Amino acid sequence: MVLAATLLTLALAAWINLPLVGQIFDQNTDVVAALPQAAAFKRGERVLILSPHPDDETLCCAGLIQQAQAAGAAVNIVWATAGDGFEFAAALSQRTLKPNVHAMRALGQLRTQEARRAAAVLGVPPDHTFMLGYPDGGLFSLFTTHFDEPYTSPRTGASRVYVQGALTPGAAFSGRFLEADLNKVLDTVQPDMVLAPAPQDFHPDHRTLSYIALRLLAARHQEARLRFWVVHGGLEWPLPKGLHPTLSLTLPPLAAQLPWTRVALTPDQEALKARATGQYHSQTRIMGRFMDSFVRTNELLSPEALPDKPSSRSGSGALPTADRPLTR
């Protein structure tokens, strides 16, 4: 029984990595090719990327980052969390079977370093990056039940920002402090464009950061400056898994009805995106094929958070898997 299950798992893993699978399950390659091109960046434009975890900014937007800087725009990145909730990554990076709170905090420090290395590969200056360091997997709690009362991370045991180089060291894990830090970044950058996760993204940290971005930008009467991307977009998306740089990044099933625009990447831009992705060694050693599957001929950006009409597909098919665990 165990052998049969193992063989079935291996067969499934091999199957979903075939290029043909992407054509079977994602019949929208032609749809992607027909999408309008995203508007070009302008010299002097200020762009801010809201990244829930270290690596999201690279998966969603490494090509965009390169194109913005080539056009003379200034790119800034803010990481809401240090990505310190992925116990499997902590077990490997800290070489322990049962990672304790110290191992989880060490993972947060490591992922913070990886984020800065990835940003450097993409040419983003250190003074254009902001690590907030709030709890991985805890943003929805901060947004709801712990807006004022400090939240204690069940994985790190921390109730305050502890990562080195954080924007506000020692800030309480609360929604009020998180929003204050985000407003501080908005005041500093004064962005003309904000790239944020879409509210359809399956990961709760992504959805929560989307809600917060919508509210904060609306309070400034700047919601039109938001653009949206997806990383956790549905069952096994993107397909096929692995590095297939000649294939398109197809529409995420959970957000297929958004008014997507296409950002075409050159082979050189894809290569640099792959190099930046590789800086996240703590993640690629576990789910490298998922991360490599974002190195495609295009990226996707929506000018709207919601479709014009609700879709019957909007609730379909996103489950955490071994290739794409929920906590990152």
Residue 318 above 80 pLDDT?
no
Residue 25: pLDDT above 80? Answer: no
Q: Which residue has the higher pLDDT, 9 or 200?
A: 200
Residues 6+ apart with CB under 8 A from 69: 75, 122, 123, 124
Among 6-15, 86-95, 153-162, where is mean pLDDT lowest? 6-15
**Which tokens go with 174?**
């609360």
In a 13 Å sphere around the CA of 199, the CA atoms on its Cβ side amount to: 11
- Where do runs of H (alpha helix) occur along the chain? 2-15, 19-25, 29-34, 56-70, 87-93, 101-121, 139-143, 175-189, 204-219, 267-277, 281-292
Return the percentage of the chain with pLDDT > 70, whole number.
Answer: 85
User: Which CATH number applies to 42-301: 3.40.50.10320, 3.10.28.10, 3.40.50.300, 3.40.50.10190?
Assistant: 3.40.50.10320
pLDDT(274) > 60: yes
- How does residue 235 score in pLDDT terms, banded at 50, 70 and 90? confident
99-147 tens-digit pLDDT: 899 999 999 999 999 999 999 999 999 999 999 999 999 999 999 999 9
Inform me whether the pLDDT recorded for 253 exceeds 60.
Answer: yes
d(CA 178, CA 93): 28
Question: What is the residue type of 84?
Answer: D
Q: In which band, very low, low, confident or very high, does the pLDDT at 86 lie, cut at 50, 70 and 90?
A: confident
Q: Please check the confidence at residue 238 and state whether its pLDDT lies above 80.
A: yes
Separation between Cα atoms, residue 190 and residue 198, nearest integer Å: 21
User: Is-contact 240 21, C-beta < 8 A?
Assistant: yes
The C-alpha angle 317, 14, 234, rounded to 5 degrees, equals 15
149-to-26, 160, 170, 187 alpha-carbon distances in Å: 44, 12, 15, 25
Which residue do the tokens 């909730």 mark?
85
- The alpha carbon of residue 225 and the mean position of all alpha carbons in its chain are separated, in whole angstroms, by 19
Question: For residues 194 and 225, is the Cβ–Cβ distance under 8 A?
Answer: yes
More confident call, 216 vs 11: 216
Q: Considering only 3-12, 146-155, 292-301, which range has the smallest mean pLDDT? A: 3-12
Write out pLDDT tens, residues 147-203.
Answer: 999 999 999 999 999 999 999 999 999 999 999 999 999 999 999 999 999 999 999
Number of helical (H) and strand (E) elements in the chain, helices listed first: 11, 7
Q: Is the pTM of this model over 0.85?
A: yes
Average pLDDT, the chain: 89
| pLDDT surpasses 90 at 12 | no
Residue 312, pLDDT score? 45
* Nearest C-alpha neighbor of 189 from the set 220, 214, 147: 220
pLDDT-based confidence at 18, cuts 50/70/90?
low
